[in-house]
Amino acid sequence: MKYVNADLILPQQLLQEVQKYMQGGMLYIPKPEGQRKKWGENSGGRTYLSDRNQSIREHYARGLSVTEIAEQFYLSGDSIKKIVYGSKQI
């Protein structure tokens, strides 16, 4: 996150209003709720896990056992069961 001097971007009237509540400190202004990115969208982690889980479901549908899939993906049997039997999509 980059520091920006409020004098340079805020109208004088708004700056004076903000100064009533805080002077000389750093203020974080979050993005609006609809513009926030979900976990893993920037790094690709979300896509990776979604693809991995879909692959696990396909292996299970082809008849592989939970134990075989767990060994192949280095996950516990319980984790595989949650992915296969659960409906939660990342």
List the CATH number of the domain containing 20.
1.10.10
Q: Where do the H-state alpha helices sit in the chain?
A: 6-9, 12-19, 45-61, 66-73, 77-85
pLDDT band at 65 (very low <50, low <70, confident <90, very high): very high
The residue to which tokens 């004098």 are assigned: 7
| Number of domains, the chain | 1
The residue to which tokens 């889980």 are assigned: 53
When mean pLDDT is compared across 29-33, 58-62, 80-84, the lowest value belongs to: 29-33
Name the nearest CA neighbour of 73 among 84, 87, 86: 84
HEC string of 61-81 equals HCCCCHHHHHHHHCCCHHHHH
Whether 1 is in a domain gets the answer no
pTM summary value: 0.58
Whether 90 is in a domain gets the answer no
Domain that holds residue 47: 6-85
